[in-house]
A = this chain, B = another copy of it.
Amino acid sequence: MNTQEVAQAFTDMCKAGQSDEAGLKFWAENVRSIENMDGPMRVAEGIPALIAKGEWWYNAHEVHSVEAHGPYVNGDQFAVRFSMDVTNKESGERIAMDEIALYTVAGGKISEERFYY
């Protein structure tokens, strides 16, 4: 699959509420996930680390809705915009999150995901 095809298939799964399955299907073994923060939480590497990161996130938030928009493609990369309505379980605060995820594709797999917010 080329980048456009990976982008479309991945985003279609996210739009269908299958973001977790999309990751498991398309992440490369050594995938890197990069947040906008300093310190040891900035980069997670490898599928087990990304699964753990996802579990942490779902444990910390009650998810009311997620919408995916895109994909937006350039070369070996594509972006997806996520609009999320979540409640932070610890603070009880309900938040409308809007973020851009940028994915880099190599050999039909996602080698990097980077989140902008």
Contacts and interface: CB of A to CB of B under 8 A. Distances in A.
A34 to B, nearest CB: 7
When all copies of this chain in the complex are counted, the total is 2
A44 interface: no
Contacts of A69: 98
Interface string A43-77: 00000000000000000000000000110111101
A98 B100 CA distance: 13
Would you call the interface of chain A mostly helix, strand, loop, or mixed?
Answer: strand
A62 to B, nearest CB: 23
Contacts of A35: 74
A73 B75 CA distance: 21
Interface stretch (A11-19, A87-95, A109-117): A109-117
Nearest to A34: B74
10 contacts: A35-B74, A36-B74, A72-B98, A72-B116, A72-B117, A73-B116, A73-B117, A77-B114, A81-B81, A100-B100
